[in-house]
Amino acid sequence: MMNDFKTYSAEAFFDNTSYRGTEFSKDGSKILLSCDETGVYQLYRLDIASGTKVKLTDSKDTVHPVRYFPEDDRCLYMSDSGGDERFHVYVLSADGAVTDLTPGEKVRAIFSRFSADGRSFYVQSNERDERAMDLYRYDVESYERELVFQNDTGFSTGNVSPDGRYVALTQNNSNTDSDVYLVDLESTDKVPAKVTSFDFAAQNHPLSFSTDSKTLYVGTNATGEFTSALAIDLETLEATPYLEEKWDIVFLNFSSSGKYRAHCINEDASMRLVVTDMESGESISPPSIPEGQIWSYSFSADETKLSFYLDTDTSPTDLYVWDIVSGDVKRLTHSLSSQMTQEHLVGATVERFESFDGLTVPGILYKPKQASADKPVPAVIEIHGGPGGQSVTGYNPVRQFLVNNGYAVFAVNNRGSSGYGKTFFHLSDRKHGEVDLDDIVWGKKYLQSLDWVQSENVAVMGGSYGGYLTAAALTFRPEEFKLGINIFGVTNWVRTLDPASIPPWWESFKKALYDMMGDPATDTERHRRISPLFHAHNITKPLMVVQGVNDPRVLKIESDELVEAARKNNIPVEYVVFDDEGHGFTKKANRITAANAFLSFLQEHMPA
């Protein structure tokens, strides 16, 4: 065996601890985060000086950190029930007492922000109407609340200005066109005013407000293929170009006084953070950190520190704190399991191939250390969700687990993926299950051109929409792939796109979804034609289906029916069901079970 190689178990890969949360306490000495070292994400308080953390919750469900209160050590967190996506917002007091601020069996709530003066905070909730997110202002001491914006028009409720005067909204007109509106919460009528206006279709969404609440920054693709930033003066509503990059600007915000600006760029499937000193106009960056991508970050209240998470292809996400004044960088977590050596893992490369019509399609390729022209390996094409999602670089334990066990992985960003410009994104509109599926087939042809890949042994797998394309591949291209692993994928578009099946809180996105996938009122025939369930008699290759019972997006009956239909073909069909998960698996034990199931299925039907 090679000196730089060792095979690890799924337990070792998921022995890595995953972290979330970057918000500082008022004095900058602590960070509020959650991690899954107990198997389920729990809330912790991490001391920056010592690196020690104290566990604050003991929940059976995943806990998402929000932030500390501005003036004390109370904190906010969010949690749903078994993955049902009906999140509630909770307060955890310093004495450990928990208050549910958004009670109700069918309530879905999202924290928005604290006001700049620290006297109130804002929460979105659909308790009045499951289809609409209204905005409430809470008092920080009594938790008494006031409905400050009733969302009767189906907007997506967005940012609140620091002074609490304005809320920015998004109206999704289609999947190519959206507008940003502004509501003055101090006005008597609170009528939304449109602040983006173009003579052509363009997608616009709020990014952030300036710290003085005088400017709204809006992301727009009106000026080109990628998302740039506009600055809208809130007094005159005049919009001017503010910031443009060669790729999409994904986030943009400021430190507490506006001394620093931070924005993230989605650069060829990797996230890059740019911090700018607004006085000098110079970009600044933390020294001596690994080459990787930064996903999440926060400034301390006094603007002297920046916390951020960084990961690489071979190293899981770790939390760092950068002292902007001294330049010192402190790594606070070491996520990679002590059982593992980073050098045994595999870095990815971004590769591109020509699809059936000459279109260039990107993907992220992992080559096992065992692979060579003399010893070619089987391969798995991984398909992301969405349908408009994107596979990105960075640490992925399932990919690394399969690669470590001798399977090449190619995460294809088929047409319709985000991150490559608006033209590429819309190439699959109302052609889903057809042109994007052909991209996956031509991704297989690319793999077959590599001398270190076994050309006859290429499988396909994916989750959510990627699960759909996996099932579609086995149904509509039955001889192309050796096997398929469908992870909570849609199998019946007639049911999924029926208004009764769509989660009610998706109401503001429904029109854009129908523009992308087709309207059930007019496109039922096509939906039936591209749904694997109605053509499951075509499936001839081994199929694995993985499903969470509480999934609100892809109902379990979708997977039940596909499994039942495929088994009639006398082919190997394996069905893995998790009773305590939804659309995605958050509990560590379940992620291990799923990964082992993937590998066992591959080894049985396409051994490495």
Percent of the chain with pLDDT over 90: 82
pTM above 0.85, yes or no: yes
pLDDT at 587: 86
Q: What is the mean pLDDT of residues 538-559?
A: 92
- DSSP secondary-structure letter at 144? -
pLDDT at 516: 83
pLDDT tens per residue, range 370-394: 999 999 999 999 999 988 899 999 9
d(CA 59, CA 206): 33
| pLDDT band of 16, cuts 50, 70, 90 | confident
Q: CB-side exposure of 506: number of CA atoms within 13 Å?
A: 16
| pLDDT band of 3, cuts 50, 70, 90 | low
Angle 397-404/588-605 helices, nearest 10 degrees? 30
Tokens 């050309």 correspond to 455
Which range of 253-257, 429-433, 501-505 scores highest in mean pLDDT? It is 253-257
Q: What is the CA radius of gyration of the chain?
A: 24
pLDDT tens per residue, range 449-503: 999 999 999 999 999 999 999 999 999 999 999 999 999 999 999 988 888 777 7
**Count of CB atoms within 10 A of residue 557's CB?**
13
| pLDDT band of 304, cuts 50, 70, 90 | very high
| pLDDT band of 211, cuts 50, 70, 90 | very high
3-state secondary structure 204-223: EEEEEECCCCCEEEEEECCC
Residue 561: is its pLDDT beyond 80? yes
Which residue did the predictor score with more confidence, 184 or 387? 184
Residue 1: is its pLDDT beyond 50? no
What's the CATH superfamily of 342-605?
Alpha/Beta hydrolase fold, catalytic domain (3.40.50.1820)
Non-local (6+) Cβ contacts of 531 within 8 A are 490, 491, 492, 493, 494
Q: What is the mean pLDDT of residues 549-575?
A: 93
Q: CA-CA-CA-CA torsion for 19, 20, 22, 23, nearest 10 degrees?
A: -130
Q: CB-side exposure of 276: number of CA atoms within 13 Å?
A: 14
pLDDT tens per residue, range 31-49: 999 999 898 999 999 999 9
Q: Where do the domains of the chain lie?
A: 17-152, 342-605
d(CA 232, CA 239): 4
Which CATH number is associated with domain 17-152?
2.120.10.30
| pLDDT band of 583, cuts 50, 70, 90 | confident
d(CA 61, CA 88): 12
Contact by Cβ (8 Å): 167, 149: yes
